[in-house]
Structure 1
Amino acid sequence: MGTLSRSLADADPSNTPSTRALKVAGEDASGSQDDARLVLRAREGERVAEELLYRRHAPSVLRLATRLLASSDDAMDVLQDAFVTAFEDLAELRQPGAFRTWIHRITVRLVHRRFRRRRLLRLLGLDRERDEVSLDALAVESASAEARAELRWLDEALRKATDADRIAWLLRHVEGLAVDEVASACGCSPATAKRRIASADAVVLRHLGAAKEGGRR
């Protein structure tokens, strides 16, 4: 895990070969302008505009939810709930061109809710088996074998972190959000977001240390 271990000390750990393998191209300025027009039309009750917004952003919302939840079934539920919530509350969106950021924030909030539900069901003995999706399975097709191996290792490490810490880490280092954006998406202060990211970093480093120790035996 030489590349990954070096990346943790880099200024931009979100730009490592393994985390880049999870990313797809973002939205440009013209996309935001198109979103603004579609949001305004959707506010007027135009169903076609809602459908177009869904088609444009459903893939990225589903990828985000799947990465955070590590479950395709749960991610599909969050996808549907996110758009239902977004369209019901569309009048609250102050900047129509920021629909992508807004729907992703709603998605993260629903992911946190889903994790709370999982914990409750586990306490009640009602937790069900779910399909688990590892980070390497979500890599882009062009990802190298080395990058996929690192993602499998990283997925194993992050599963030892708390749900809140894992979400914050992925938002920062995979989604590329700034700390204040992570805080906004998670509904916490920037200081709390920093602590969660640092806590997940520590988990990854401990996992790395354990792997190195095991390799020397």
Structure 2
Amino acid sequence: MLQTDLIKKCRQNDRTAQMALYRKYCDGMFHVALRYVRHDADAEDILQEAFIRAFSKLDQYKGEVSFGAWLKRIVINKCIDFIKAKKELTVGLDEGFVHLADDNDWEMETDVSMAEVHASMEALPEKYRQVVLLYLVEGYDHQEISQILGISETACRTRLLRGKGKLKERLKEIVYGTGS
């Protein structure tokens, strides 16, 4: 069955079609959620809430982007909502007074594995990890990230700059063996 037919049937509350659409996207969206919340149980809860929201708001899906991209945005928003509910996110006073990040400067002097990069990203403080993930992994720009997180673009750029610095620091520790 074509995806457009599947979506059409889902709009008519066809439970079989909804289950087929769920099965098609659940694994990928689970991994998206897991990048943000780090715990399987939380990611599963977010995934369920995201699908409930997607099915209830399916009439808002216009097909301008792929269904997967539309659903991914819902999952990411649910993750951000979960994180905000779990812990109040705050912007430090000094974040507005730091120079802006150079978005293109992500190179390292030496080779590191993807597993090391992923582990280093996971170890970043939450507010930096969120911005780095949204920017590097999801491909959002500063304006979109600031809207998603409810922070200013300056704070977004500052967090990206600091997150990038901390990420490079961790990777250098791994490469040169100076870490603990």
| Fold shared, TM-score > 0.5 on shorter chain | yes
**Partners of 2:152 and 2:11 in 1: how far apart?**
32
Structure 2 match to 1:186? 148
SS of corresponding position for 2:2: helix
Residues 146/202 of structure 1: CA separation in 2 closer, same or farther (3 Å cut):
closer
TM-score, reference length from structure 1 = 0.58
TM-score, reference length from structure 2 = 0.68
Structure 1 match to 2:122? 155
What's the C-alpha RMSD, in Å, of the aligned pairs? Answer: 3.4
| Unmatched tracts of structure 2, length 5 or more | 89-111
**Partners of 1:77 and 1:180 in 2: how far apart?**
28
- Aligned-residue offset at 1:196: 3.9
Structure scoring higher RCO (CA < 8 A, sep ≥ 6) equals 1
Residue 165 of structure 2 corresponds to residue 202 of structure 1: yes
SS of corresponding position for 2:66: helix
Residues 153/203 of structure 1: CA separation in 2 closer, same or farther (3 Å cut):
closer
How many equivalent pairs are there? 155
**Partners of 1:88 and 1:70 in 2: how far apart?**
26
- Aligned-residue offset at 1:208: 4.8
- Aligned-residue offset at 1:214: 7.7
Structure 1 match to 2:30? 62
SS of corresponding position for 1:45: coil
Structure 2 match to 1:102? 70
Structure 2 match to 1:167? 130
Counterparts of residues 1-217 of structure 1 (less than 5 Å): 34-95=2-63, 98-119=66-87, 146-156=113-123, 158=124, 160-162=125-127, 165-175=128-138, 177-179=139-141, 183=145, 186=148, 191=153, 193-208=156-171, 215=178
**Partners of 2:166 and 2:38 in 1: how far apart?**
18
Q: Is the 8 A contact 2:143 2:153 kept in 1?
A: no
Structure 2 match to 1:20? none
**Partners of 2:117 and 2:13 in 1: how far apart?**
47
| Unmatched tracts of structure 1, length 5 or more | 1-32, 121-144
**Partners of 1:185 and 1:80 in 2: how far apart?**
23
- Aligned-residue offset at 1:181: 8.9
Residues 32-85 of structure 1, C-alpha deviations (whole Å, 9 max, x = no match): x93332112211222221111101100111000011111111001001100011
- Aligned-residue offset at 1:198: 2.9
Identity of aligned residues (%): 22
- The one-letter code matched in structure 2 to 1:197 is L
